[in-house]
Structure 1
Amino acid sequence: MRIDSLPNPLVIGHRGAPGYRPEHTESSYRLAVALGADAVEPDLVASKDGVLVVRHENEISGTTDVAARPEFADRRTTKRVDGHELTGWFTEDFTWAELSTLTARERIPEVRMVSAGFDGTEGILRFADLVAVVRSAAGAHRRPVGIVAEVKHADYFASIGLPLDRLLAEELAALGFGTEPDAEPLIIESFEQSVLTALQARRVQAEFVYLIERSGRPSDLVARLGDAAPSYADAMTDAGLAALALEVDAISVDKAMLIDLGDDGGARPTDLVERAHAAGLRVYTWTLRPENRFLAPPFRDGADPAAVGRWLEEFVLVLSSGVDGCFVDQADLGVAARSAAGDRADHRDGAARPSDVGGSA
C-alpha cells in the first residue's frame, strides 16, 4: 500500500502517544491510532541476539526499570556511540529474553506527569510486536495505519556485528512487507543516509526519508571522513536538496527549521518546504508538542515550562509551510491542527487543550 493512500499532511504518532502514555508501549501506540494518527513511529535498535527492539535509544536507563533490577547491575557500562560517551545499560548487552522482563517508564516525568502514572505497567516491544499492534489497531478502526520506522545508530551497530539494514530487511520480509499488496504503508528514516542506501540495495520497498538536524554532521559520515564530512546544513542548500532527491524520497527536519522568528517578535514559515518540493522531495517535521518547554518563544504562555502554551498557533504555522507530515506526541492535537490549518481559521484565542482521553499533558 502506498504512502499517498494516507491523508496529507500525515499526522504521525511520535513513539505512539507519549503525551499520554510512556513512549513505545502498546497502549501508547493503540491510543495514538484511536486519537486519529495516520501512522506511528517506532525507533529501532538491536538486542545482543539480533532482535529489533523498539526503544528511542540503545541506552535504556531512562525509559525502563533496568537500573532498579539488581540482577542486571553488572551490565552498567560506559560506551562511545556516534561520538558521544554514554554510561548506562545498552540493549546490545542483553538478549531479547532478558529485555522482555523489563517494564517501560516515562522519559520526562517532570513534564509528562500523567504518562508517568503508567510507569511499570507494560513491557517493551520488539518490532514484530509493534507491527502486530498496528495491524490490530488498523483493523479495529477500519482504516490503514502507516509505520514510520526510524533506524537508530546504524553505523555503531554495524561496528559491533549487528547490521541493522540486514536485520530490518529480514524482519520486513518475514512480516510480509514488500510481498503483501495490502501491507501497511511503510516509511523508513534515519539520520544516517548510508543505512537507507543499504536498505535500498536490499530491495526493501518503502519510502526512504533522510532525517536532518539543525546543526552538526551525520555520524556515519564523520566516522568515515572526519572533519571533511559534509554538514546537515550542506544538504539544505538548493544543490544539496537536488542531490538528495536522487537518493531518497523525502527529508524530515527539526520544526525550528520551518519557523522564521522575525526581529519584530513574530513568526512565519521559512521557504525550506517550497525549495525541497521544487527539488522533488517530500518533507516531514518533528516534533510538535504543546508544552511551553517545546514551543517557539512567541507561542509560550507563562513561565512554567511544563504548562500548555499556544500550541495550536504554532502547529498551524508549521503546517502552513506545506509539509507533507508532522510528528506529534498527542495525535488528537495534530488532527485538530490539520483541521484548523485547512479551515484557515484564527485560533489565537481560546485554543483547545489536550484531549481528556489521556489527561492533561
Structure 2
Amino acid sequence: MSKRERVRIKDIADKLGISSATVSRALNPKTESLIGKDQIKRVREMAQKLGYIPNIGAASLRTQVTNTIGVVIPDILNPIFPPMIKGIQSYLSSKGYVTIFVASNNNQDEALEEVRRLIMRNVDGLIIASAFLEDESVNECISQNVPLVLVNRSIRKGELVHQVLSDEQHGIDLAVNHLLSLGHKHLVYLSGPNTILQSLRRREAFEGFCLQRNIAFDIVDYDQDDTYAFSVEAGRDAAEKYLRSGCAATGWIAANDLMALGAIEACRKVNLRIPEDISICGFNNMPLTDIVNPSITTISVPFQEIGVQAAKMLLQEINAPWPSKQRLLMSPHLVVRQSTAAANGSKR
C-alpha cells in the first residue's frame, strides 16, 4: 500500500481555483484580514474536507518561530505539578502553542542538559519550575537570550528573571496563626533544603514570625541530598530526628504536604496520635490531602493559576518584551482539616 501524500496548500488552491497565496492567507490568523470572510470560509471548509494539516516545521524554517514552549519541572511524581502543568498547557494551547514538558529529578546537571536540548529544538521560550538559588540552567537561558519565566522557585538574583511565585511569608503566617489559635505554645518547622528559594523563604518566615512574637520554636533543618527534597521520606526522617531530640513542640509545620505525610507516619510509629497529641500542618494543598487519614490541614497554593500566569507572562515577553523583569506573587489560603486540633490542656 502506498503512503498517502500529505495535503498541500496548492491542493486546496487547485480545488477552489484560487491562488496558493490566498489559501495561505485564509489559513493564517495573522493574515486572514487581507481577504473576505466568504473566501476564508470556503478555504477552511475545503481544508477540512481534504484533511489538511499545517506543516509547522516548514513554517518555522521561514519565520524562526516554532510555536513551542519548553517547561522544566523538578519532580514528575510530586502531586503539586499536574495542576501547574494544566494551567500552563491550557493557556498556551489556547494561543496556538505546543508545550514540551521535561523533568530534572531535582538534579541541576539534568536540568541543564534538558534546557540545552530544548534550546536546540528552537523553542520560543522556557518556563522553569526547577530552579535552585544558584542555577546553571537558568544562567544558560540568560546567556542564550531565551525568553524565560521562573515559576514556583527562583534564583538568588531574582531581578535578572521574570517570576511567578507563591507568597511564602503570607502562607507561613497563616499556618503559625492557625496553630496559635488552637492553643499550641511551642512550634516546630520541618524544613526543606536551603538551596531552594521557596524552602528558604518559608524557613525564614517561620523563624522571623516566632522571634517577633516571642513564641517558643524549633527548626529541623534539611541535611539530605537535594534529589531527596520535599519527599515523604524527607518528612519522616526529619520527624524521627526531632522525636529523638525530645519533641517539645505540639504544633508542627512541614515544608510541604509530602513531608507532612512522612511526619504523620513517624509519629504513629511511636504511638503519638494526630491530632490529639501532635497537630501537623502541611503546605501546598496537593491533590489527595483531603482524603488521607487524617486529612491534612494545609496552606493552599493556587498552582493552576500560577501556571496560567507564568504562561501569560512568557508570551508577553516573547511578543512584546517587558521594559523590566516582572515578579508576581500569588496569595495562598488556609485549609483546615483533621490533622490539627486544640492543644492538650487548651480550653479551645
Question: TM exceeds 0.5?
Answer: no
Considering only CA atoms, is the larger Rg found in Structure 1 or Structure 2? 2
TM-score, normalization by structure 2: 0.29
Higher helix proportion: 2
TM-score, normalization by structure 1: 0.28
